[in-house]
């Protein structure tokens, strides 16, 4: 096992020092990636209906979370002393992270298409689900810094909201809750929640597609958009709706 991946105080100190060393690069990458993602999604944001959401948030990975990621990578594996770079914080894909949450599913899919086109060289690493991926995830390098990789996620908003509970109970539980997160019963209930959220989104999308009033409204809105003239990037960004978003901590 990598010596500094134990759970000692010293390992946390070493991690904090590494984070501190990389922090200027991480912040530059976060700022660049968040700005590019928002700019790419402006055309969608300007077309949102009242019930629709498209929110972009960002975060710098915390030291303890980074250590946990490296430990999970090491579990069940043999420490390769000849390749120490595998156990460096810079080897993580998500020290700098941006999350896009969207509703309904059509907006999620549209955002995914636009961002894949904007970042064609980034590698896909979808969040695994039970029958299909829960969310899209991509990682790669930004111009602002080549010492670290960055990641952006595109997540259905209902899944993102549930993750706020799941994150502290199952995904990264406190020592007192580790047994809860590992229980078969809780895992089955978690699967049920994800299936229910997906069923809600699918049924909502089906109802919207069958609603003649919604179709008429959409045609009118599309016609109005053809006459829209955007005068500056500043105006674009000022018109992006500001709505509360789930905290990005995953």
Is 149 inside any structural domain? Answer: yes
pTM of the model: 0.73
User: For residue range 208-221, what is the model confidence (pLDDT) as tens digits?
Assistant: 888 766 555 555 55
Count of structural domains, the chain:
1
What is the extent of the structural domain holding 70?
3-156+228-238
Is 142 inside any structural domain? Answer: yes
Is 57 inside any structural domain? Answer: yes
User: For residue range 169-184, what is the model confidence (pLDDT) as tens digits?
Assistant: 776 666 677 677 678 8
Is 173 inside any structural domain? Answer: no
Residue 229's pLDDT is: 46
Is 218 inside any structural domain? Answer: no
> What is the H or E stretch that residue 111 is in?
helix 105-118
Is 201 inside any structural domain? Answer: no
CA-nearest of 49, 47, 50 to 225 is 47
The CATH number of the domain where 131 resides is what? Answer: 3.30.460.10
Is 106 inside any structural domain? Answer: yes
Cis status of the peptide bond prior to 104, with omega within 30 of 0: yes
Is 187 inside any structural domain? Answer: no
């Amino acid at each position: 096992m990598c010596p500094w991946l134990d759970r000692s105080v010293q390992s946390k100190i070493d991690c904090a020092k590494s984070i501190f060393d990389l922090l200027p690069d991480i912040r530059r990458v976060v700022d660049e990636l968040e700005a590019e993602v928002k700019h790419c999604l402006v055309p969608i944001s300007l077309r949102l209906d009242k019930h629709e959401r498209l929110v972009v948030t960002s975060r710098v990975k915390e030291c303890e979370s980074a250590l946990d990621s490296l430990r999970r990578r090491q579990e069940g594996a043999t420490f390769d002393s000849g390749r120490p770079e595998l156990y460096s914080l810079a080897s993580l894909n998500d020290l700098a992270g941006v999350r896009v949450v969207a509703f309904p599913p059509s907006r999620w899919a549209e955002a995914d298409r636009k961002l894949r086109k904007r970042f064609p060289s980034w590698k896909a690493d979808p969040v695994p689900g039970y029958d299909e991926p829960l969310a899209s995830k991509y990682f790669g390098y930004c111009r602002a810094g080549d010492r670290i990789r960055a990641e952006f996620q595109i997540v259905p908003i209902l899944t993102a909201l549930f993750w706020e509970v799941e994150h502290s109970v199952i995904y990264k539980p406190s020592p007192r809750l580790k047994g809860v997160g590992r229980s078969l019963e809780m895992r089955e209930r978690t699967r049920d929640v994800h299936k229910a959220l997906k069923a809600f989104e699918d049924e909502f999308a089906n109802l919207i597609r069958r609603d003649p009033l919604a179709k008429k409204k959409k045609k009118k809105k599309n016609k109005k958009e053809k006459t829209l003239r955007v005068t500056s990037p500043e105006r674009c960004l000022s018109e992006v709706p500001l709505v509360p978003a789930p905290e990005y901590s995953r």
